[in-house]
Chain A
Amino acid sequence: MDYIILIISSLLINNILLAQFLGNCPFLGTSKRMDTAIGMGIAVIFVLTIACIVTFWVQHKVLDPLGIDYLQTVSFILVIAALVQLVEMFLRKFAKPLYTALGIFLPLITTNCAVMGAALLIIRKEYTFTQGVVFAIASASGFTLALILMAGIRERLEISDVPLALRGTAIGLITAGLMALAFFGFQGMDAALTALVRS
C-alpha cells in the first residue's frame, strides 16, 4: 500500500516539474508541439529509470563501501552522460524506429536536471531499491504528464492573442505557474490518502 502513496505522491503531489522545479529547460523547450512533447516524455521515462537504477548501484556498491561519497556529483554526472551515449548507440543499432523517434531528444537529456535530480533524491531520501525504482518511474511519468498537458495548452496559445512582450517563454512560464497552481490542489491529498490506506 505504501507504494500507492509513493506513486501518487511523486506523480501528482510532488510533481518533479511543477513542485520540485526539476527539468524546466527541456520542459519549456520541447512543449511547443504535441509530438515533440510525447517523444521527449518517453525518452525521459526511459533514461531516468535506467539512470536511477545505475546510480543507485554506484552509490551503494561503489561509493559507500569505498568511503568516497564526496565523489557522488562527479560520478553521477559521468554515469548519466555515458548512459545516454550507450542508450543512443543501442537504439541506433537494435531499435531503428525508436531511434528515429527519440534520437534527437537523447543528447538533451544529459543536462536535464530531472534525471540527476531524481537520482540524487533517491539517495538523499534513503529509499530502498524497489522504492527507488517506483519513485523513478512515477516521477518520470509525472514529468511526461506535465509536459503533454503543457503542449496541449501551448498549441492553443499559438493561435491566441498574447501581448507582444510575453510571447514565447514568458507566457510559457505563466502557464506553467497556473498549472502548478492546479497541481497544488493535490497537496492535501497526501494526508487523506494515508488515512484512507490505514483504515
Chain B
Amino acid sequence: MKQVIQMAVVLTLICTICGAALSGIRSITAERIVYQRLINVQGPNVEDVLKGSENDLIAERESVEIDGEEILLFVGKKNDRPWAVAYETSAAGFGGELTIMVGYDLEKDKLTGLKIGTNSETAGVGSRVTQDPFTKQFKGLDIDLKFTGGPCPVGVDAISGATVSSMAVSEALKKSVALYPKIKEAVL
C-alpha cells in the first residue's frame, strides 16, 4: 500500500512540476511565437501585396471587429498616410481550407495583389493556383468583380484541371471584397 501511495505521489509531483514549468515558458514565449508566425507565414505575402509601403507592416498590424468577426488588418502607409490595406479570407479548397491574402488600393479601390496562404491543394495540380502566373492576374482588378459563369472573375484565366482550387480562390475573394467597404471605413 505504502508503495502504491509513493508511486502516485511521485508521479503526480513530476507531472505537476513539468506542467507548471511548461505553462510558465508558454506564457513567456506566447507573444513572440504569434509575432514570429506572422512574420514568417503571412509576412512575405503581406509584403508582396502591399509593395511600396514605407512602414513596418507587421509591427503596425491592427485587428478590427466586423460583423462579430475579428479580422487582422495590415495597413500600408506612404508619407505616413494609409494608401492600402491587406487582410486574409478563406474558403474550402480541394484538400482543405484555402487562405488568400488580398491587398487593396484605398484611393483607386483596386486590388494591389493576391497571394495564397495556407492550403492543402494537390501538389502539381491544384497547387498551381499558388504560383505567380495565376495570382498575378488579380493585380489591378477593380473591386467590382464580374463573373460570367466561369470559375474566376472576368480578366482571370482559371487553371485547367484545377477548377475546384480556382473556384476556392474566387470564393475567398468574393468574401474578401464583400468586407472591403467596412474595412475601408475602419482604416480611414
Contact = CB atoms under 8 A, between A and B. Distances in A.
> Quick check: do A and B touch in the complex, using CB within 8 A?
yes
Interface of A: 2, 5, 68, 70-71, 74, 125-126, 188, 190-191, 194-195, 198
A96 B182 CA distance: 67
A199 to B, nearest CB: 9
B68 interface: no
Contact of B22 (A71, A190, A191): A71
Contacts of B120: 125-126
B97 A70 contact: no
A68 B22 CA distance: 10
Interface stretch (B76-84, B121-129, B166-174): B121-129
B21 to A, nearest CB: 11
A69 to B, nearest CB: 10
A195 B125 contact: yes
Interface of B: 18-19, 22-23, 26, 95-97, 120, 122-126, 161, 163
B18 A191 contact: no
Given A70-B26, A126-B96, A126-B97, A190 B18 contact: no
A71 B122 contact: no
Contacts of A126: 96-97, 120
A194 B19 contact: no
A5 B94 CA distance: 12
B163 to A, nearest CB: 8
A74 B161 contact: no
Contacts of A5: 122
B32 to A, nearest CB: 14
Nearest to B118: A126
Contacts of B161: 195, 198
A191 B18 CA distance: 46
B123 A190 contact: yes
B125 A191 contact: yes
A126 B118 CA distance: 11
Contacts of A2: 95
Nearest to A71: B22
8 contacts: A2-B95, A70-B22, A70-B23, A74-B22, A125-B96, A126-B97, A126-B120, A198-B161
B19 A71 contact: yes
B18 A194 contact: no
A195 B122 CA distance: 10
A2 B95 CA distance: 9
